Every structure is written in structure tokens, then in C-alpha cells.
Amino acid sequence: MTTTPIFIPRPGERGAGSPRGPRIKRDWKRELRIWWREVDRWLLGFVIALMLVGTLAVAAASPASAGRLSTDSVTLPDLYFFWAHVRLQLLGLCVLVGTSFLPARLLRRGGVALAGMMLVGLVLVPIIGTEVNGARRWLNVGMSLQPSEFLKPAFAITLAWILSWKLRDPKLPVIGVSGALLGMIVLLLMLQPNLGGAVLFVGTWFVMVMLAGLPLQRIGMLTGTGLALLLAAYVFYDNARNRIDAFLGGPTAYDHVDLAGRTLQGGGWTGSGFWLGENKMRLPEAHTDYIFSVIGEEFGLLVCGVVIVLYLAIVLRVLIRLVEEDRLFIILAASGLTAMFGGQAFINILVNLQLFPSKGMTLPLVSYGGSSTLAICFTVGLLLAVTRRNPYLEREPFDIKGSFEKDDDL
């Protein structure tokens, strides 16, 4: 008598003849309801308000930039940059909302993978990159891609992941590892040259490391090191020295900074009116780096104040959202993303106010841009994702100071 062997499927393996289980369909309506319940609607509202301001501002600046970039053979329409900006904003809004659906686990993995790809892109930029206005920062991959823009949010996520290792083992050299990563990025940015981007990465790293529990004596040592490196950049790096000298020496007649200042103040408190600004017609990069000045001329200094308040509201809203957060990775990631976003915004505004050296940095969600617009929308989508909260789930605030051991390695 022979017996038929019994087939026992392995875990996750379906045996022959076994009934097929029901296919689980994703209920998009349910997921959308959950997203709407958990997303910070105030933060989303501030972001959309800034995007609307940006659309109107690019419409005001488009004739000036279109006129400057037109040639004898090609004449750009007055609203050329406006319509291009609208298309990019719509695409960016899709990126923003889609990213905000991602769970924290996928954010961490995706952020680390994206950081790796963009680091490879930074290495390739000095070799095969496209040069614009004396800077080589872009790769031509069917579209103009600026790897440093997408590296900004990926760096914040990756750095948050590295610093959160300290919870598992306080002896891990997380400061050294993160510092080495930062140093490599800064070196690659200086080769472009992109001093403004390097400053932004260093500032974000400093904020996140302090939040991770860095002792005060180490903070003092890092501050001194940063000042020494800035002095070295002034002595040995021509791009940094020229920008700092131009800033300390004051603007000369009809240079970018001087034109931006006169454009900003040209409309007074209430502005000269839509499409009635005159100074903007002589302003280089009116639709990108100096769009804040165009807002001041056509819509007035009061509207400039509203723009600043919107940026402050976004930063403060994220910080308020983190008060009851109990996950270190989320706290660090949200803080790093906010430092990147807010730091870029206020550097751009200070440049327009002649309070900071010119950096060639756009105004997030407001300036016209290609890959930079998509990168900023991706950054904001990450912020919305990490600040999502179940309103029915109570959290105990995370004790950062008590979570780390103050040893020599930190």
C-alpha cells in the first residue's frame, strides 16, 4: 500500500488546488478620507496660499524676463514664463499631494535611496553638467535636472535616519558619519560653484545635530570650526570672496543687488499696480532670484510682509505639530525639512533686502523654476507626510535630552 505524500506549503506559498483567496482591492476613497483626517490642513492651506502668491508674482515678472531673454530671431511672449510656471505648479501639486500619502517607513527608505542617486548626480555635474551664468549645476536628462535641489530633502531624511541610530547604540559615531556625509556634499557643491547651497546644507546639519542632543561644548567647537572654514573659503575660494566683498562694500549702481533694492522699494507700501512696475524691466532674473523685489514693486511692501508671515506660519505650524511627537526620526526629519525650506526662503528674502550676500537661490513655492519647483513641492509633501497625525491617538512627548547618553563619542 502506497501513501500519497502530503504537500505542506511554506509560509506565503499557495499549494496546488488550494482555493484562491479574495483579491484585496485598495479602497482609494477610504485612504483619501484617512489622509484628509490626518493631514495638517492649516499647513496645507499656508502652502497653497504661497503657491497662489507665486503664480501671481510670476505673472507680474514674466514680461520683464521674457523681454530680457528675447533675441532678434526669437521673441518670447510676455506670459511665456507664467504659463510654464502654471504647468509646473500643477505638476508640483500632484507631487506634493502624492508624497504626503507615504508612510514613515517608505519615506526613510526612499529618502536614503534618493540621496544616493543625487550624490552620484553631484559627482557627474562637474564632468558632464550644463553651465549657465558661469555655474555648472545642471544635468541634461531630457530635462534640466539640478541634483542639489532634490538632494536637499533627501539629505534631511537621511541625516534624521543616521542620527536616530543613537537610540539603538549610544556609542555609534553618528556625528562623525553625518559630518563626513556633509563634508562630501559641501565639497561637490563648491566645485559647481554653489556657495549658497553649501551654506544651507551646513545650517540644516547644525540644526539637526543640536536637536539630536549635542553637548554645548561640542556646539562651541563646531561654531568655531564653521567660522574658520568660512574664513578659509574667503581666502582660497574666489566665488565666496567676490560675493562677500560685494556685500561688505555695498551695492554699486545698476548691479543686481542695487536694482533689486530699488525695485523692492519702488512701489511703496501699496505697490504701483499689476504690470505697472518699471524697475523690474531692468532687473535680471526677475522671475526667479529677485521675484520678492517684483512683489514689492507691483503689490507693495504690505504684501511682502504677508509673504514673510506665510513662511513663518509654515515653520511655526510644523514646530507646533511636533510638540506631541514621540518618534525621534520624525522629529529630526521634520526639523531638517523645515530648516531647508525656511532657510532657503529667508536667505532669498535677505538677499533682496540687501542684508545677505547674493546667492542665486530661488524663493520656495513662489519663484519660477524647473526641477527646483518639483523639488520644493517634494519637500513640502514630505513635511505634510511626517506631520500627519491620527486625531484620536494620544502621544507622549518625546524626551530627546533623556534619550541620549552624554558620552565622549557624541
pLDDT digits (tens, 9 = 90+) for 181-219: 988 998 888 888 788 888 899 999 988 988 877 666 666
Least confident of 123-137, 139-153, 395-409: 395-409
pLDDT in tens, 23-70: 545 678 888 888 888 899 999 999 999 999 999 999 999 998 888 888
- What are the angstrom distances between the C-alpha of 240 and each of 237, 290, 330, 359? 6, 20, 35, 10
Q: Model confidence at 410, in pLDDT bands (50, 70, 90)?
A: very low
| Residue 312 clears pLDDT 80, i.e. is over it | yes
The neighbour count for residue 370, using CB atoms within 10 Å, is 16
Residue 178 domain-assigned (yes or no): yes
Task: Name the residue among 335, 328, 331 with its Cα closest to residue 168.
Answer: 328
pLDDT at 409: 38
Residue 48 domain-assigned (yes or no): yes
Residue with cell string 549657465: 132
| Residue 313 clears pLDDT 70, i.e. is over it | yes
pLDDT at 90: 94
Residue 15 domain-assigned (yes or no): no
Residue 202 domain-assigned (yes or no): yes
Residue 136 domain-assigned (yes or no): yes
| Residue 156 clears pLDDT 90, i.e. is over it | yes
Residues of the chain with pLDDT > 90: what percent? 34
Q: For residue 254, how far is the Cα from the chain centroid?
A: 31
Indicate the residue type of 125: V
The neighbour count for residue 184, using CB atoms within 10 Å, is 13
Residue with cell string 532674473: 285
Task: Name the residue among 89, 98, 106, 90 with its Cα closest to residue 32.
Answer: 98
More confident residue, 232 or 266: 266
Residue 141 domain-assigned (yes or no): yes
Mean pLDDT calculated for residue range 362-368: 92
Mean pLDDT calculated for residue range 143-165: 89
Q: What DSSP string runs through 273-297? A: -TT--SGGGG-TTTTTTTHHHHHHH
pLDDT at 243: 63
Q: Domain range holding 192? A: 38-389
| Residue 396 clears pLDDT 70, i.e. is over it | no
The neighbour count for residue 316, using CB atoms within 10 Å, is 13
Residue 396 domain-assigned (yes or no): no
Residue 99 domain-assigned (yes or no): yes
pLDDT at 389: 83
Please name every residue paired with 138 in a beta bridge, in sequence order, or none if there are none: 130
- Locate all alpha helices (DSSP H) within 212-288, ordered by sequence: 216-236, 238-249, 256-265
| Residue 231 clears pLDDT 70, i.e. is over it | yes
User: Strand order of the sheet with strand 135-140?
Assistant: 130-132, 135-140, 144-145
Mean pLDDT calculated for residue range 351-362: 80
Cα torsion 44, 45, 49, 52 to 10°: value is 70
| Residue 381 clears pLDDT 80, i.e. is over it | yes
Mean pLDDT calculated for residue range 96-121: 90
| Cα–Cα distance, 151 to 380 (Å, whole number) | 14
pLDDT at 213: 74
Which pairing describes strands 135-140 and 144-145: parallel, antiparallel, or unpaired?
Answer: antiparallel
Mean pLDDT, the chain, whole residue set: 81
| Residue 253 clears pLDDT 50, i.e. is over it | no
| Cα–Cα distance, 359 to 351 (Å, whole number) | 7
| Strongest mean pLDDT among 217-226, 312-321, 349-358, 400-409 | 312-321
pTM: 0.83
| Residue 405 clears pLDDT 50, i.e. is over it | no
The neighbour count for residue 166, using CB atoms within 10 Å, is 21
Q: CB-based contacts of 241: which residues, under 8 Å, 6+ apart? A: 233, 234, 235
Residue 353 is placed in which grid cell? 533686502
Q: Is 144 helix (H, G, I), strand (E, B) or coil?
A: strand
Domain count across the chain: 1
pLDDT at 404: 46
